[in-house]
Amino acid sequence: MDARAQRSGGRDPARGCGNRRTDVRAERDRVRRAWLRARAGAARDLSVRSPLRLVLDTNVWLDWLVFDDPSIAPIKAAVETKRAEIFIDAACEAELERALGYDLGKKRTVDIPDCIALCRRVARRIGFPVPEAERAQLPACRDPDDQKFLEAALAARAEFLVTKDRALLDLARRVAHFRIVAPEAFEKADPSLRSG
């Protein structure tokens, strides 16, 4: 290594200092690919695939509980066939309960206790918050109210955070621990959901 390369920290001085954003993305993608390979290998070794772990944002829950949106059908099917399980924490459930009390249009009357009871039957409760050191690894969402969904997905060790929220979807490339997808993209995001 010549003196110029040593001064530049081992980087090729002819290439310049590099792009930190590109370096971070490349490392994140490398970690994600390694994690997915390890997960796929473990599933093959056990010859039984463990259920996908999901966290849903409030709008996706409303589509499930109130609007019966067709885009949620693959998620419902995956949960019903035990190919996926949903996780929720106290903060996300409290927001869902508040949202169920809003005017949801078309003269809908929502039975809030029934919706929350169904949510509790379908979802597993996240019991422990994420340690501060892990939480610090998450990107900051431009809507601070949505940060709780990132934290819930991390605490649940989820593979997917399913959301319709643009602020969360914009973070998809910046999160290494789980994927952030819209409901419409969920089935395409994991090929194992197409069979069965």
Co-location of 159 and 68 in the same domain: yes
Co-location of 124 and 57 in the same domain: yes
pLDDT value of residue 46? 46
* CA–CA distance, 88 with 93 (Å, rounded to integer): 7
Co-location of 55 and 40 in the same domain: no
Co-location of 67 and 39 in the same domain: no
Q: Which amino acid is at 94?
A: A
Positions in the chain short of pLDDT 70: 1-22, 35-48, 107, 190-196
Closest CA to 28 of 182, 129, 171: 171
Co-location of 112 and 175 in the same domain: yes
Co-location of 29 and 91 in the same domain: no
Kindly report the pTM of this predicted structure.
Answer: 0.71
pLDDT value of residue 47? 47
Structural domain for 150, as ranges = 51-193
Question: Structural domain tally of the chain?
Answer: 2
DSSP state of 152: H
pLDDT value of residue 126? 92
- H/E run at residue 110: none
pLDDT value of residue 44? 47
Closest CA to 58 of 91, 88, 95: 95
pLDDT value of residue 196? 46
Co-location of 126 and 35 in the same domain: no
Co-location of 21 and 86 in the same domain: no
pLDDT value of residue 185? 86
pLDDT value of residue 193? 58
- In the block, which residue shows the tokens 């610090």? 136
Co-location of 183 and 121 in the same domain: yes
pLDDT value of residue 141? 84
Co-location of 84 and 180 in the same domain: yes
pLDDT value of residue 2? 52
Co-location of 117 and 185 in the same domain: yes
For residue range 144-179, what is the model confidence (pLDDT) as tens digits? 888 999 999 999 999 999 999 898 888 888 888 899
For residue range 108-118, what is the model confidence (pLDDT) as tens digits? 778 899 999 99
Co-location of 69 and 114 in the same domain: yes
